[in-house]
Chains A and B, each alone.
Chain A
Amino acid sequence: MQGVDTGGTRGRLLFDRGTAWFLLAPAAVLVVIFLVGPFYYMTWTAFTDLSFANPDQHGAFIGFDNFRRLMREDDIFWSSFGRTLHFVVASVGLEFVLGFALALLIHRSVRSTRVVLTLLLIPMMLAPVAVGLLWKLLLQGDFGMVTHYLRSVGLLARDAAIFSDPSLVMPAIVAIDVWQWTPFVTLVVLAGLMSLPREPFEAATMDGAGPWRQFVDVLLPLMRPIIALVLLLRGIDAFKEFDKVFILTGGGPGTVSELLSIYAYRVNFKNWDIGYGAAVAFMVYLVVVILCSIFYKAVYWKPSGERVAA
């Protein structure tokens, strides 16, 4: 009987495995077509001299030449890279602080969160292109409504315009990104706060910990995975920022708002230097991968005491 049972179990297992593969196949095919395939092609292209403009560059394999040029000779790449890092730190930092504060406020003070959350989520639900066009009109230097009020209250000089003033362009772009994405941080953090157990806080209260100590020593450690997740998602997204900036300024004036994605666009679709453009895009991917691994470590990192106990 045992033998029969074993045989039946094996058969079921094999059947289950076969079914599993069968059911997984469509998704796997789609992943290969839309993710693995293009990524492989981009990676391969980065090692070629392919250009749609230059007839002498048919896509011959040139090893690491594109990457060498990128690392050693391309000042614009590095300045765009630095500008993008500044943008990510400023926008994600502000979104996190404001989003966390807002989530705490809603968690503690608002009874019915539905209406508040629905209103909050509107900017996040807009397409980035729509956000770019919306703010382009609002901040337009001649008839923009926000520009008008900023001038009325004296925050903007009569002879100044936000997207023509190099010192105001990046702060404006960061502010628009914060406007759009703070609700996302709020939403995720709020979900985290609502799922926290009460016991650690009650224990801390019994031990005499005040609100600040509870925030620092109980709430923040418990929220660590959520915080890491939200920073990771926003960090990756901000690093790839393209649509809004392209519509608002096109990377200008000068090179003031030329982020890495805008530079990659120029190399690929203005100069049609596809091989080199793929190398630029690959670098963006590499940075995102590094960011992911750092945050992944942060999520699963445990203080030494906990590790010993475990």
Chain B
Amino acid sequence: MGRMNGWLRGLAVVVALWQVPHSHAWTLEEAAKPYKGVTVRTIGEALPPLEAMKAMAPEFTKRTGIKVEIEMYEHSEAVNKVMLDLNSKRARYDFILQPHRELGKFVANKHLQPIDRFLDDPKLRDPSFEPAKVLYPGLWKEISWYQGKVYGFPFTALTMYAWYRNDLLNDPKERAGFKAKYGYDLQPARDWKQYRDLAEWFTRPDKGLYGTALQGKRHEALWYEWLNFLYSFGGDVLDVKAGSDCGPVIVNSPEAIESLEYYKSLVKFSPPDTLNYFWDDVMALMQQGKVFELIMWNDATYAVAEDKEASTVAGKMAFDLVPQGKGGKVGQVEGWSYLIPASAKNQAAAYLFIQWMMAYDQQLKQHLNGGASARPDVYASKDVQKLAYAKASMQTNEVAKPKATLPQSGEMTDILVREISTFLVGQKTAKAALDTSAKDISKLLGKCAPLKYPVK
């Protein structure tokens, strides 16, 4: 019996020793073997983060034999093509890159494959990849989760913050003149009064310089931009804690009305065509050195602040959180997420590519080429710290506020864009525009979204 026990003990040790190296022996090459020769196809917005991914994909193909085809389109086109593909069940894409506001629509219509299936699969899951530890938890939850279930990983954690012309901020003549007029030092705005003072001071149409540039076109850009003002003034669209929650409509609160009126007050410090601008236009103006300050996206920062071939103000920019109002420090976040359609043909191969892209090395490379990683360790890298916008990006990530990801979020956005635009051109007052928005959104969402502020 004693001999038998000893023999069994010895066998257990052998088994354990055999298992130890195997549990750590996960390699991408091994995991990808069954999918060699497969082609995974994806679609996303034609911007630097996707271009960076496209540049890295051949390395993945070299290691795995899995080919990656990437289709790039303008923002709305990328969203519309995916909607039509998912609803037609053609399964053209093995994974998709989509803005997180679309999440509710996809989940409610059962278009997505929850990602935990892959995370629980030891053959596919890289044991060193622990998303809960390596990603900003708030950003991951906001961008890729819906009603407590995880559907993907952040492709980009897009946030908006304030951009300033640092060379003008540090110009001794400007500093002296500004202090003489406003009674305080020229610096990035701490509050919205200072933001307007700065806009006013630097508005010099005769010299082709404007204080700011609003994204006032009837386009999603208008809504995104105004959300920064809304949140900072202490308002919100719905009174909820998570983007996937439905709750009372508060978009016509006094704070929201105040923020909208303030927003319009900046039109006179913007170029004449400001009501026809969206993100591309204001980015181009900044690159040409025609604007002093504005509120813009982090994935556009590289092309303005670092790319000397594209920008006349590269190396001359400063970045900071949006000014603070009653809402305190806030950031408006919009992420694009890696998602796997339920109808996709090559789900496992797609997951392997996504997981590979989420690894530190790829995230760092992508971030340095215009990406917007959701990994804090990427921001801690020395190379990233050298970027003028690293600090502002990181700070905004930490105070990011959720936005509605309900199935009706697209229509909610459309209502708000329409009404804000009618206010900007003087067709309605701020109160009337937001009252109409509140009424329409409440009607759209139904019983779960009563009006908190009565509408006549």
A residues adjacent to B (C-beta < 8 A): 52-55, 140-142, 158-161, 163-164, 166, 249-256, 266, 269-273
Contacts and interface: CB of A to CB of B under 8 A. Distances in A.
Contact of B426 (A166, A249, A251): A166
Q: Which of A161, A164, A271 has the most CB of B within 10 A?
A: A164
A249 B218 contact: yes
A270 B410 contact: yes
A53 B418 contact: no
B276 interface: yes
Given A254-B218, A255-B427, A256-B425, A141 B407 contact: no
Given A141-B276, A254-B421, 19 more contacts: A52-B87, A52-B109, A54-B408, A55-B109, A55-B110, A140-B273, A142-B273, A142-B285, A158-B205, A164-B274, A250-B217, A250-B218, A253-B217, A253-B218, A254-B418, A254-B425, A256-B425, A272-B83, A273-B411
B325 interface: no
A126 to B, nearest CB: 21
B205 to A, nearest CB: 7
A215 B176 CA distance: 75
B12 interface: no
B80 interface: yes
B453 to A, nearest CB: 22
Nearest to A262: B218
20 contacts: A52-B105, A52-B109, A54-B108, A54-B407, A55-B109, A55-B407, A141-B271, A141-B272, A142-B272, A161-B271, A166-B425, A166-B427, A249-B218, A250-B219, A253-B216, A253-B275, A255-B421, A255-B422, A271-B410, A273-B411
B273 A163 contact: yes
A103 B212 CA distance: 49
A129 to B, nearest CB: 13
Contacts of A273: 411
A164 B422 contact: no
Contacts of A249: 217-218, 276
A166 B423 CA distance: 12
B276 A164 contact: yes
B273 A141 contact: yes
Contacts of A55: 108-110, 407
Nearest to B276: A163
- The interface residues of chain B, by DSSP majority, are classed as helix
A214 B48 CA distance: 67
Contacts of B276: 141, 161, 163-164, 249, 252-253
A142 B290 contact: yes
Size class of the B contact interface (CB-based, 8 Å): 20 to 34
Contacts of A271: 410-411, 414
A285 to B, nearest CB: 22
Interface in B379-424: 407-408, 410-411, 413-414, 418, 421-424
Given A54-B407, A250-B219, A271-B410, A164 B87 contact: no
Contacts of B273: 140-142, 161, 163-164
B217 A252 contact: yes
Interface of B: 80, 83, 87, 105, 108-110, 205, 216-219, 271-276, 285, 290, 407-408, 410-411, 413-414, 418, 421-427
A127 to B, nearest CB: 17
A272 B421 contact: no
Contact of B414 (A166, A252, A270): A270
Nearest to B424: A253
B421 to A, nearest CB: 5
A53 B275 contact: no
Q: 6 closest A-B pairs (Cβ-Cβ)?
A: A141-B273, A252-B218, A161-B273, A164-B275, A254-B422, A55-B108
A221 to B, nearest CB: 46
A250 B220 CA distance: 11
Nearest to B102: A53
A272 B411 CA distance: 8
Nearest to B414: A270
Q: Which of A54, A253, A266 has the most CB of B within 10 A?
A: A253
Nearest to B271: A142
Contacts of B205: 158-159
A15 to B, nearest CB: 44
B218 A52 contact: no
Contacts of A160: 272
Contacts of B219: 250, 252
Contacts of A140: 273
Contacts of B410: 53, 270-272
A250 B80 CA distance: 16
Q: Which of B83, B217, B290, B413 has the most CB of A within 10 A?
A: B217
Contacts of B271: 141-142, 161
A272 B418 contact: no
Contacts of A254: 218, 418, 421-425, 427
A53 B408 contact: yes
A163 B434 CA distance: 24
